Amino acid sequence: MSQPLHRDQIEAVVSAAVQKQPVVDMHTHLYSPAFGTPVPNAAGPVDPTGLLLWGLDELVTYHYLIAEVFRVVPATVLPYDTFFKMSKVEQADHIWKHLFVERSPISEACRGVLTTLHKLGLDVSDRKLDSARKWFKEQKPGDYIDKVMELANVESITMTNPVFDDGERERWLRGIKPDPRFQAVLRIDPLLLDWPAAAKKMASWGYGVSEEVGGRTIEEARRFLRDWIDKQNAIYLALSLPPSWRYPADPADAAARAGQAILEQVILPVCAERGLAFAMMIGSRRAANPALRDAGDMVGTSDVDSVTALAARFPGNRFFVTMLARENQHALAVAARKFGNLMVFGCWWFVNNPSLITEITKMRVELLGTSFIPQHSDARVLDQLLYKWDHSRKLIAGVLAEKYRDAVDAGWKLTTADIERDVALYLKGNFRNFL
């Protein structure tokens, strides 16, 4: 066995191991170049409806920052529609002026832009965007993706592929060239949350489904999922659920009952048949402020008992679960102690902030040891991988170092190899093995 570590050596060894370990990022909104990019660049063709977002103006107009700038320049001063009619460059200039120049960029989303630019070696100490914009214009998407993945030490990017999004579905139907750097996930929110609308769309696509969830509809809806799992070569299925989601559903709520029938008789049987995990991201109340568009969603506390009821009822299915409310994190970690088919993952969205990542990761190590997935990036802009993983790696390393020191203080002989083995589980193995 290699030399046991002294407690004073642990911090540095953990930090090095976490930095060195390539990450498999299990949930992002990133896309391979096959989906086109609307971001102008010196080399590639611009595709205005392209889905691969990257570069300075996309970074600065991330919907987190749009929400924050409307706190500083309220809609009564700058109406939402006026803002959204501005070009990306004008929107970025507006956000940069108000959140970076006239006030210090110390929110996590602002800091993220600074970390990203800094890791790319770009200097914005003149508090102007011109030189950074120029640099991005010289990057080519294909090479740039490899550059960002290498710099962020991300070995695989998992996409989110919402089949009910017309733009995205059209692209799949036209044919998407597989890209080994990117894995697809079949995202199906409307199937469970708005079955009547989903059924109407599926019927127009040639599936013999009707609003009534009966025999043929169930068979045809299963066929729909199989077809898209195959078309996308999806590695898991996913959806997000509002805080109000309950399992079992309230018998008086017809829409919720339809959703439950789809979950029990369509989604989970197909997942089990294909050996695919099902990811539930619970707690987002969509469009609390619709005028803010992507930035308008709100958090709500969800019901962990619904998760345990589902995991108990479907022991043959595997569930990735993350919850949006800080208040749900402890019970969710305890739920994972009860069900081995439940894999807790990530510090999602409104809990993806240093103070909460540290709190949640500490609690998860204390309750779950090495058997959870500490983080995903949720990146929407390619370059965000640079900050999302930089920030989280440091926080995860800090928590692990403390927990390893506790073990060593209790007499455990710990080696560098032990730490590297565990870190590989946290950043890659637990996800890949659970798939």
Q: Is 378 in the site for Zn ion (CB under 5 A)?
A: yes
Q: How far is the CB of 160 from ligand HDL (least distance, A)?
A: 6
The structure tokens listed for 161 are 């592929």
> Tokens 């339809």 correspond to what residue?
258
Q: How far is the CB of 108 from Zn ion (least distance, A)?
A: 16
Which of residues 220 and 378 has its CB atom nearest to Zn ion in the complex? 378
Which of residues 351 and 414 has its CB atom nearest to Zn ion in the complex? 351
Q: Is 385 in the site for ligand HDL (CB under 6 A)?
A: no
For the residues of 100-163, what is the DSSP string, one character each? IISS---SHHHHHHHHHHHHTT---TTS-SHHHHHHHHT--HHHHHHHHHHHHTEEEEE--EET
Q: Which helix (H) or strand (E) holds 238?
A: strand 236-241
Q: Which does 380 bind (CB under 5 to 8 A by kind): ligand HDL, Zn ion, none?
A: ligand HDL
Range 154-193, binding ligand HDL (CB under 6 A): 160
Q: Which residues contact 208 (CB under 8 A, 6 or more apart)?
A: 216, 217, 220
Cα distance between the two ends of the chain: 31
**Rounded Cα distance, 208 and 261, in Å:** 17
Q: How far is the CB of 17 from ligand HDL (least distance, A)?
A: 27
**Rounded Cα distance, 323 and 303, in Å:** 10
Which of residues 14 and 351 has its CB atom nearest to ligand HDL in the complex? 351
In degrees, rounded to 5, the angle at the alpha carbon of residue 282 between the alpha carbons of residues 183 and 262 is 80
Binding-site member from 349, 405, 415, 429 for ligand HDL (CB under 6 A): 349
Q: Which does 240 bind (CB under 5 to 8 A by kind): ligand HDL, Zn ion, none?
A: ligand HDL
| Residue type present at position 263 | L
Binding-site member from 37, 156, 240, 328 for ligand HDL (CB under 6 A): 240
Q: How far is the CB of 67 from ligand HDL (least distance, A)?
A: 10
Q: Is 380 in the site for ligand HDL (CB under 6 A)?
A: yes
Q: Is-contact 160 185, C-beta < 8 A? A: yes
Q: Which does 139 bind (CB under 5 to 8 A by kind): ligand HDL, Zn ion, none?
A: none
Q: Which does 329 bind (CB under 5 to 8 A by kind): Zn ion, ligand HDL, none?
A: none
**Rounded Cα distance, 105 and 222, in Å:** 48
Q: Which does 318 bind (CB under 5 to 8 A by kind): Zn ion, ligand HDL, none?
A: none
Residues in binding contact with ligand HDL, number by CB under 6 A: 9
**Rounded Cα distance, 321 and 339, in Å:** 12
Which of residues 221 and 239 has its CB atom nearest to Zn ion in the complex? 239
Q: In terms of residues, how long is the chain?
A: 435
Q: Is 297 in the site for Zn ion (CB under 5 A)?
A: no
Which residues contact Zn ion (rule: CB under 5 A)? 378
Binding site for ligand HDL (CB under 6 A): 29, 160, 240, 281, 284, 294, 349, 378, 380
